[in-house]
Amino acid sequence: MLGAATRHSGFRCATLAFLSLAGTAAGLLLPATLGRALDALLTDPSRATNWVLRCTALMLVLAVLDACETVLGATTSARATAWLRERLTGHVLGVGPRVGHRFGPGELVARLVGNAAQAGTAPATLAGLFAALAAPLGAVVALWLIDPRLALVFLGGVPIVVAVLRAFARNSSRCVARYQDAQGRIAGALAEAIGGARTIAAGGTADKEVARILRPLPELSREGHRMWRVQGRAAAQAVGVAPLLQIAVLATAGLLLTQHRLSVGELLAASRYAVLATGVGVLVGRLGGLVEARASARRLGEVLDEPETTYRRRHLPPGQGTLELRAVTARNRDGRTVLDGVDLVVPGGTTMAVVGRSGAGKSLLAALAGRLADPDSGEVLLDGVPLRELDRPTLRRAIGYAFERPALLGETVEDTIGFGHPTPPPGRVREAARTARADDFVRRLPHGYATPCTAAPLSGGEAQRLGLARAFARGGRLLILDDALSSLDTVTEHHVTEALFRRTPGYGRLVVAHRASTAARADSVTWLDGGHVRAVGRHAELWAQPGYRAVFGSDTGDERNGGSS
Ligand SMILES: Nc1ncnc2c1ncn2[C@@H]1O[C@H](COP(=O)(O)OP(=O)(O)OP(=O)(O)O)[C@@H](O)[C@H]1O
């Protein structure tokens, strides 16, 4: 993941590394130039101006390079973050609902926002790290050039510095990973609570919820403190070692000066190179940044590892939306088999209701029927073609969905009904709204169909009618309603199902139903029980069985005709 982000910012990263290295080179030249200027001032003042001017030029170059590095570093991080977020968002939507089931919306948002921003700093940090490494290395070489003994004295203390840095990288990466996990859990619980705000308010459990959301807080605090301790320890050890090394180099340089092997200027240069060579503080900072970026990238990588749904290139032959499930087995995310070898045919041009007790797998079957999920084994076919072999536009044009709680996406009410690709023409949107019995209430909204969704507070039934209108407007040869009629009043439900179930040739309908009235109007009913299809038949025939009646919470025959006749 880090490699991909760095490759994406390749040119900027290379420029940044070049600027950082140029800054390091200028920084390394400065002590030698200062030393020369000092020697010239002491021995031959006529040459001193020249050296002083060189020192001034180097300082100017350093200031300009530093400014460029700051701007380029910030924009490189911003661009890498934007690229990561775009890639991740595309991937999450490409995988489909499965990824939401695995990570939860809060955790995904935390990764997409927080972790992507941290991982996005990696290319700039990496470029800076090279420069931060080059400075001490260059300083040691400079010490060697002044006098090899100075470099040897310094190198004697290097193993301690390396040990400090290694311990820092190892310990801090553990703390950072745990810290980010705790952050993700808080975000996940918060998103759940926001989604369930009504339930929490009704239950009067706000305080308990706050406690639940913030449960990982002590762990967060513990890991945060541990991180500071690791960083503090590394800095303290570095601070302890650095002055000792600097004094050793300076003492050696002083000795060499008394033996006339070094000039005063070289002593000055050596003292500054000793400071540069022990500049572990910058390295610790850069290394810390890289550790955080790596931990974040690991969390993004987990999301990207979730395989995207793949499509093939087949198209559909002419047909009326015949749906077929062949030996379909599907498990939930805990590995429990929900549907076990289900065989089912919904003949084109007919309506089939799917009924069963809560948790029987009706919604899962609806998801498999339109390839919102793939079965673990078996095959789902539309007009004889396996769904896995269809190309995406063909699949999505052929199958329309309406859900129990439709998401009202789009700017206006008209947008939300026409949501999808291609956008249906306005005439079709109105017609679909009339079929779904949504036209009346939409026209009563402040700006009718142009009312922004945010300014249209809708009841559950109204939202469901917009969801139904969306499915009708999109058309297609198979329409799947997953409990999409549950919030409609019985009169509206009657009208909608009449319009929907009217023997309209040309497309099939699969309707997850909880009400006997809905099942009664379908051409046939599939009764799911214990992972299997227990029976397929007409509602009136199945009603004779007590087990079937119990699905609707009734053991009397009163609802035989759906209670609506
Ligand atoms: N798209 C899906 N992918 C994987 N598992 C799913 C999917 N939809 C539902 N499940 C799982 O299938 C099991 C049955 O849930 P499902 O929602 O299908 O039952 P249901 O019969 O529709 O229940 P209810 O009438 O209460 O809505 C659950 O364990 C659920 O987590």
Residue-level pLDDT, tens digit, the chain, 565 residues? 666 766 777 788 889 889 999 999 999 999 999 999 999 999 888 888 999 999 999 999 999 999 999 999 999 999 999 999 999 999 999 898 888 888 988 899 999 999 999 999 998 888 888 888 888 899 999 999 999 999 999 898 888 878 877 888 788 888 888 999 999 999 989 988 998 888 888 888 999 999 999 999 999 999 999 988 888 887 777 777 888 888 999 999 999 999 999 999 999 999 999 988 887 667 777 888 888 899 999 999 999 999 988 999 999 999 999 999 999 999 988 889 999 999 999 999 999 999 999 999 999 999 999 999 999 999 999 999 999 999 999 999 999 999 999 988 888 999 999 998 788 888 999 999 999 999 999 999 989 999 998 888 888 899 999 999 999 998 889 999 999 998 899 889 988 888 887 756 678 999 999 999 899 999 999 999 999 999 999 999 999 999 999 999 864 444 444 443 3
Among 364, 483, 528, the mutation site with the greatest number of ligand 1 atoms within 8 A of its Cβ is: 364
Q: Is residue 441 part of a domain?
A: yes
Q: What single DSSP character describes residue 449?
A: G
For residue 72 the two structure tokens come to: 């380029």
Nearest to 369 by CA among 330, 407, 404, 332: 330
391 with 281, same domain?
no
> Is 343:280 a contact under the CB 8 Å cutoff?
no
The distance in angstroms from the start CA to the end CA of the chain is: 62
How far from the centroid of its chain's Cα atoms is residue 88's Cα? 5
239 with 370, same domain?
no
When divided into structural domains, the chain yields a total of 2
- CA–CA–CA angle 290, 294, 298 (5° rounding): 170
Q: Answer with the one of 304, 334, 366 that is the final residue of a domain.
A: 304
For residue 465 the two structure tokens come to: 């009618």
Q: How far apart are CA 292 and CA 114, in angstroms?
A: 11
Per the structure, the complete domain to which residue 451 belongs is given by 323-551
Query: Domain containing 231 — which CATH number?
Result: 1.20.1560.10
Measured in Å, residue 364 CA sits from the centre of ligand 1 at 5
Q: How far apart are CA 374 and CA 389, in angstroms?
A: 12
Please give the biggest Cα pair distance in the chain.
117
Q: Is residue 31 part of a domain?
A: yes
333 with 276, same domain?
no
Residue 361 φ/ψ region, left for φ over 0, alpha for ψ in the -120 to 50 degree band, beta for the rest: left
267 with 350, same domain?
no
User: Would the CB of 243 count as within 6 Å of ligand 1?
Assistant: no
User: Would the CB of 361 count as within 6 Å of ligand 1?
Assistant: yes
HEC assignment per residue over 333-378: CCCCEEEEEEEEEECCCCEEEEEECCCCCHHHHHHHHCCCCCCCEE
User: Would the CB of 337 count as within 6 Å of ligand 1?
Assistant: no
21 with 87, same domain?
yes
Measured in Å, residue 359 CA sits from the centre of ligand 1 at 6
Residue matched to tokens 């919820």: 209
Residue 541: strand pairing partners: none
Residue 423 φ/ψ region, left for φ over 0, alpha for ψ in the -120 to 50 degree band, beta for the rest: beta
Measured in Å, residue 560 CA sits from the centre of ligand 1 at 27
For residue 15 the two structure tokens come to: 């420029």
